[in-house]
Amino acid sequence: MTTSTRTRRGNQDGSEPRQRKDGRWQANYPIGQRPDGSTILKSVYGKTKAECRAKVRKLAQEVAAGNMPAGRSPKLIEWLDYWLINIAPATAKSPQSRRGYKNKIDNHVRGHRVASKRLTALTPSDMEAIYATMRTPQPRASGHPRPAVSESSVAGLHRVLRRALNVAVKRGFLGKNPLLLLDSPTGGDFEPQVYTTEEVRRMIQAAQKRDDEARWLLNLMLGPRQGEALGLTWPDVDFKSNKLRIERELFTLPWAHGCLLDVGGKPTCGRSKGVHCPERHGGGYFTGPPKSSAGVRSATMPTPLRNALLRHAQTQQTVRKHEPWEPWVDQGGVERDLVFCRPGGLPMYPKADWNAWRSLLAEAKVPAGRPHDGRHTAATTLLLLGVDQRVVMEILGWSQISMLQRYQHVLDEMHQDVADKLTDHWSTEPAEPVSNVVSLAGRLAARRARKN
């Protein structure tokens, strides 16, 4: 009786070469993972077992170097899956950005007929077909068609596909990116929802009667992004220097299945969504840096906001004396004493925060909008008050001067003010006194009238 000396091969060693009926030797090697967690295998062949093993070693070196192994051109969806898992993380370090890439591909490419075409067979018409489908309402089993997406969404997918296919060209899987032969889709003209001075006053009055007053004064006066506001901690608020520092944002990631997949690729736990899987992983609340390096910033608190935060702190301290409360621990093991949170100190649900904003708007009897519209209102107000554009960029955490162009209508009015002042200054005839008070309400009302 002999004892086998065969050792178990590691997951990254590839399979042991086996001889096929045609006499050739074949081995498989894992070159990546699909978004669902299943392994992408590539087969290599050799006339002898030794040749096959040599090809496996060469393939392992290519994968280690970050190169998609050469061979038959991959299908579009195969390449996009590989790009998402192995290449995109190097440039899109934010988990939210990578999730956005995946959502765009899953929603608009994965189920499309073009997804199964080989990269070398792709044409500009194929890409136009994907965009045409996005622009057309699609039937659903419920009987209610899925509405067409916005041009901004089409432009967003175009940017993602262009990046992925540019890499395919560099790696030698595609001769020329077909998207470069198309005009880039452009989103519709940006028209932010901005509230007038009177509407903001009503919102502030309504907020003063609520427990979350400080949350909405912060939104309307300094305009942080939702994740930045929900990631704010008490150590970030310095009441002595009257400064507020923003250096992180709170975000959520979806839960993934932790169970095995059956032969049909379906999770064995029987649940359709990862959040319900008993072995779920990867989801929940996380903290990370703001959207750009410019997002790390400090701002001086206006007196109404400072007072509201003081009241919020006092209320929270009173609650802590009577209810269980402890700082939330983030994914890095760091305790975060959140300013805006659920009872007990846990992070606020973004959707609950959104619903609270809608409730405030309804109480104030102002047009419906998103929490991000408070950010637009803050930016517009600062510009109309004559605050230097660079200072506005610092307060809002903008990284590019081009962001100001989204408020061109405001900038045009500011330039007109300068022209009017120069006219009055150099006029040889006496001019009527001009008020220095900026009427945000009047200007916004006039702009709305022009739109109608």
Phi/psi for 342 (5° steps) reads -80, 165
Q: What are the pLDDT tens digits along the chain (452 aa)?
A: 444 444 444 445 678 899 999 999 999 888 765 544 566 778 889 999 999 999 988 888 877 765 655 556 789 998 999 899 888 888 877 888 888 999 999 999 999 999 999 998 999 999 999 999 999 988 877 777 888 888 889 999 999 999 999 998 888 788 899 999 999 888 766 677 889 889 999 999 999 999 999 999 999 999 999 999 999 999 999 999 999 999 999 999 888 888 876 656 678 888 888 888 988 888 899 999 888 888 999 999 999 999 999 999 999 999 999 999 999 999 999 999 999 999 999 999 999 999 999 999 999 999 999 999 999 999 989 988 888 889 999 999 998 888 887 787 776 766 777 777 778 778 766 555 545 445 565 666 665 555 55
Is there a domain that residue 280 lies in? yes
> How many Å apart are CA 345 and CA 332, to the nearest integer?
17
Tokens 């700082």 belong to residue? 327
**CB of 219 closer than 8 Å to CB of 229:** yes
Please report where in the chains the tokens 């997951």 appear, as a residue.
11
Within a domain: residue 417?
Answer: yes
Which token pair is 221? 């006066």
Give the count of alpha carbons within 13 A of 141, CB side only. 0
CB 190 within 8 A of CB 170: no
Whether 308 maps to a domain, the answer reads yes
CATH number at residue 104: 1.10.150.130
3-state secondary structure the chain: CCCCCCCCCCCCCCCCCEECCCCCEEEEEEEEECCCCCEEEEEEEECCHHHHHHHHHHHHHHHHCCCCCCCCCCEHHHHHHHHHHHHHHHHCCCHHHHHHHHHHHHHHCCCCHHHHCEHHHCCHHHHHHHHHHHCCCECCCCCCCECCCCHHHHHHHHHHHHHHHHHHHHCCCCCCCHHHHCCCCCCCCCCCCCCCHHHHHHHHHHHCCCCCHHHHHHHHHCCCCHHHHHCCEHHHEECCCCEEEECCEEEEECCECCCCECCCCCECCCCCCHHHCCCCECCEEEEECCCCHHHCEEEECCHHHHHHHHHHHHHHHHHHHHCCCCCEECCCCCEECECCECCCCCECCHHHHHHHHHHHHHHHCCCCCCHHHHHHHHHHHHHHCCCCHHHHHHHHCCCCHHHHHHHHHHHHHHHHHHHHHHHHHHCCCCCCCCCCCCCHHHHHHHHHHHHC
236 and 369 share one domain? yes
Looking at the DSSP bridge assignments, the partners of residue 41 are 30
158 and 102 in a common domain: yes
40/131 same-domain check: no
Whether 301 and 365 map to the same domain: the answer is yes
Q: Domain of 265?
A: 257-288
d(CA 225, CA 228): 5
The answer to whether residues 176 and 314 belong to one domain is no
One-letter amino acid identity for 42? K
One domain for residues 374 and 437: yes
Single-letter amino acid, residue 419: A
Residue 448, domain member (yes or no): yes
Residue 186 contacts residue 152 (beta carbons within 8 Å): no
442 occurs within a structural domain: yes
Both tokens assigned to 42: 């590539």
Residues 410 and 367 in one domain: yes
Helix axes 197-207, 350-364, angle to 10 degrees: 110
Structural domain count of the chain: 4
Judge whether 325 lies within some domain. yes
296 and 277 in a single domain? The answer is: no
At residue 42, the pLDDT reads: 80
Structure-token match 């969404």, residue found = 153
Give the pLDDT confidence score for residue 399 in this predicted structure.
86
Q: Which of 340, 320, 247, 329 is nearest to 286 (CA)?
A: 329
Cα 208 from Cα 212, distance rounded (Å): 8
Residue 347 lies in a domain: yes
Q: Are residues 128 and 270 in the same domain?
A: no
The answer on 427 and 357 residing in a single domain is yes
- Are residues 358 and 273 both part of a single domain? no
Q: Is residue 208 part of a domain?
A: yes
Domain co-membership, 357 together with 422: yes
Looking at residue 37, what is its pLDDT?
53
Instruction: Say what the pLDDT of residue 58 is.
Output: 86
